[in-house]
Amino acid sequence: MLEGKNALITGSTSGIGLGMARALAAQGCGLMLNGFGDADVIEKVRSGLASEHGVKVAYNRADMTRPWEIEALVADAWAQLGSLDILINCAGIQHTAPVEAFPPEKWDAILAINLSSSFHTIHHALPHMKAKGWGRIINIASVHGLVASVNKAAYIAAKHGLVGLTKVVALETAGLGITCNAICPGWTRTELIEPQIVARAQALGVDIEEGGRALLAEKQPSRQFVSVEQLAQLAVFLCSPAAAQITGAPIPIDGGWTAQ
């Protein structure tokens, strides 16, 4: 379905971003991967995706806290792939603490990576999409872009801001063949959430799996984690012709969390 299209996915060397990369590559989409990690592991992922799906896959380790590196990342994606049709902003970090104990440097880092980096990628990607008359921008927000929880001031501020940014970009590109939407996952079993599961297990004196069930029971009525594959298939759908009139939407995929 996406043969001939090319995507830049930030934070795509692990977790949700890597799941998005696998799903798009399976649809024939070329990729620019981005993120940190062991160089040999990343190269194995890059070459594996390229050989398995017969698409071009490049990699750029741009730091999402540095606007000048983000600008270079977008330029590199266009230069190496030949076009930039799809942008998925997935880079994110987390820290939990009460507001009065929240380290200011953590606040700054979370806002930079979880919110400001998406502004910078969109800012530089939009001219390429407008020139072609087609584009899909998908921001990986969170259920916490729609509702709040304690001890997550920076993350929630960033994700609420990302939902707002999504709506503005959708309005500014309406009718131009470009859509901008936000996917808002509930609890998803990734590296980002694992420390919270461990903390819950330790607080309750139970094993990791029981800690995960306790975390789910607090917020997510389905009592099941959202899977990376489910999120990735939603992204594929948003890139399809069927989703051409879906824009500016924060789409929950949260096991009923925000229905409460």
Helices (H), 133-206: 153-173, 194-204
Bridge-based pairing state of the strands 86-89 and 6-9: parallel
Question: How far apart (Å, rounded) are the C-alpha atoms in residues 109 and 101?
Answer: 16
Place of tokens 């789409």: 251
- Fill in the amino acid letter for 182: A
Question: How far apart (Å, rounded) are the C-alpha atoms in residues 136 and 133?
Answer: 11
Find the catalytic residue in 59, 155, 187, 257: 155
Active site residue 155: yes
Task: Work out the angle between the directed axes of helices 67-81 and 117-132 (0-180°, nearest 10).
Answer: 30
DSSP-assigned beta bridge partners for residue 184: 252
Residues 6+ apart with CB under 8 A from 131: none
Q: CB neighbours (10 Å) of residue 99?
A: 11
Q: Among all residues, which ones are annotated catalytic?
A: 155
